[in-house]
Amino acid sequence: KSEEEELVSEEWKQMILSLPKERGWRTSHLYEYQGFWCQIAKIQAIANFQKHFQSFYSDVVLASIPKSGTTWLKALAFAVTNRDRFSVTSDSHPLLTSNPHDLVPFFEYKLYANNQTPCFSNFFSFDQRRLFGTHIPYPSLADSIKTSNCRIVYICRNPFDCFVSTWHFLGPLTSLSLEEAFEMFCQGIIGYGPFWEHMLGYWKESLERPEKGLFLMYEELKEDPLFHLKRLAKFLKCPFSLEEERSGVVEKIKKLCSFQNLKELEVNKKGKSIMSFENEKLFRKGEVGDWVNCLSPQMVERLSKVIDEKLGGSSLKF
Ligand code: A3P
């Protein structure tokens, strides 16, 4: 049992043990909580977040299913929303000395982890816009996020690369074979999954309330970062001025947050910002289409069918 699991109260353990469960990837089991798959140690954190978190209208929630570009989105959104406080060309920009996950804390891994009550002032100064990260599916966000005017930005990645990235990240930590892990992914049994429900939850919200939810695609962000950075800034109500565009601020943010730049920073080569995961493992290849190096033609056919079946009826296309 992990230290974190030890901190789950007896009352919660009893409740959790009554939930449907499946073999986990990294932990012994994943439990089906509120319709998604989750580790035992996270359930109590999520419940506390749902019960206690109060959002401000200016808050920004950055959401994703793991391995979809969360770290990148956090870096971009931090640089965009804090550019009045920290010039993007400054030698002392926080992104040069802090991992993006330490600047934009996760609700479930940091703020409400280990059965603790969050101390927001440890993360945000009183005049700073609060940015949070989460992997929690849309329906299970705290009500105050769903009903207030705070904004949600979701980053989505094609499921082939999402699986391959997850496999490289968790593979060394699991006793599952590639084939077993792949089959579980296709059945939706992955932390915070099924992936299709996760994506559809945020997709529908972004269509129904475009002023509240922005849906970004990893692949599109790679293709045209400047265009999507401008979209992001506009959506977050801090659009780039003409003067900023002319002086190259958007381009500088793109460079500051680029895969190559972040990967080479000392702070991202050492330490652990998400639980016991090494920061350096957060920066692997950062490419689109790396799945061709990992999946057999049968696997591609299997996952294509799942995507077709689960997402084919929606307007969400990869
Ligand atoms: P790969 O494993 O395909 O390389 P997350 O941040 O949600 O954990 O997602 C991790 C994936 O995003 C990894 O993909 C990682 O390399 C990639 N990534 C991390 N930082 C990035 C950046 N600045 N730009 C593009 N991709 C990035």
Average pLDDT over residues 225-245: 98
With a cut of 80, say whether residue 6 has pLDDT above it: no
Count of domains observed in the chain: 1
In a domain, 19, yes or no: no
Distance 286 CA to ligand 1 centre (A): 5
In a domain, 10, yes or no: no
Look up the pTM and report it.
Answer: 0.97
3-state secondary structure of 73: helix
Lowest-confidence segment of 168-172, 221-225, 257-261 by average pLDDT: 168-172
Cα radius of gyration rounded to whole Å, the chain: 19
User: How many C-alpha atoms does 313 have within 13 Å on its Cβ side?
Assistant: 4
Distance 71 CA to ligand 1 centre (A): 7
Query: What is the residue type of 312?
Result: G
Average pLDDT over residues 194-205: 98
Average pLDDT over residues 93-111: 97
Average pLDDT over residues 160-173: 96
Distance 68 CA to ligand 1 centre (A): 7
Print the domain residue range for 96.
42-311
Strand duo 213-217 + 151-156: pairing: parallel
In a domain, 5, yes or no: no
Strand segments (E) across the chain: 21-23, 29-33, 36-38, 60-64, 131-134, 151-156, 213-217
Distance 8 CA to ligand 1 centre (A): 31
Residue among 167, 190, 259 whose CB has most ligand 1 atoms within 8 A, to mutate: 259
In a domain, 31, yes or no: no
Query: What is the residue type of 83?
Result: R
In a domain, 173, yes or no: yes
pLDDT of residue 11: 84
In a domain, 81, yes or no: yes
In a domain, 35, yes or no: no
Residue among 104, 284, 291 whose CB has most ligand 1 atoms within 8 A, to mutate: 284
Which of 29, 67, 36, 65 is closest to 50 using CA atoms?
Answer: 36
Which atom number of ligand 1 is nearest to the Cα of residue 262? Answer: 23
CA distance 39 to 5: 9
With a cut of 70, say whether residue 4 has pLDDT above it: no
Length of the chain: 318
The CATH number of whichever domain residue 299 belongs to comes to 3.40.50.300
Is 52 part of the annotated catalytic residue set? no
Which of 40, 34, 24, 61 is closest to 115 using CA atoms?
Answer: 40
What is the CA angle 267-269-274, rounded to 5? 75
Which of 306, 284, 39 is closest to 12 using CA atoms?
Answer: 39
Lowest-confidence segment of 3-17, 69-83, 87-101, 200-214 by average pLDDT: 3-17
Ligand 1 site residues, Cβ closer than 6 angstroms: 64, 66-72, 161, 165, 168, 257-259, 262, 282-286, 290
Residue among 101, 135, 198, 228 flagged as catalytic = 135
In a domain, 11, yes or no: no
Which of 186, 139, 148, 146 is closest to 167 using CA atoms?
Answer: 186
Average pLDDT over residues 304-314: 97
